[in-house]
Amino acid sequence: MVILFDRFNLPEDIFEIIFSTGQQTIVARELIKFMSEHTGEITKTEMSLFATQLHDGVYETTLDDPQYKGKKVKLSYNKRQFYDRILTPMKAMGLIDYDLYKKTYKISAKFSNDLMKIGLQWKTELRKYGINL
């Protein structure tokens, strides 16, 4: 996944930087909230249950969005699109880790570590041209 951003107009919400639509932002935030309620790690079955509840339109939550503040809402999101547009990119970017042996998904800090590594790579590249920042 490619993240394009304007450093002068960065949104406060990290999900708005990573995902292109408001609906994806809401679903990704709800996934992290769901995982954090389960100690940051969920099984493959629990992930499937989350995706199925979204698909069936029965996942109920309270959103932080000002227009829904304090109201319970039911979210609906296609299961295949959830895996393709939310979970797979989050795994690829290191926001979520999947353990093949335990068959669990876990919230990860690899995204943050990789962004620091990318910054260091940029500085290393500049040094090749005699620029020290």
Domain ranges, ordered by start, for the chain: 14-108
Q: How many C-beta atoms surround the C-beta of residue 17 within 10 A?
A: 14
Q: Return the CATH class of domain 14-108.
A: mainly alpha
> What's residue 2's pLDDT?
82
pLDDT digit string (tens) for the chain, length 133 residues? 788 888 899 999 999 999 999 999 999 999 999 999 999 999 999 999 999 999 999 999 998 877 777 789 999 999 999 999 999 999 999 999 999 999 999 999 999 999 999 999 999 999 999 998 8
Structural tokens at position 22: 């408001």
The tokens describing 128, both together, are 């090749």
Would you state the pLDDT for residue 88? 97
Pinpoint the alpha helices (H) of 40-78.
44-56
Q: What is the CA radius of gyration of the chain?
A: 17
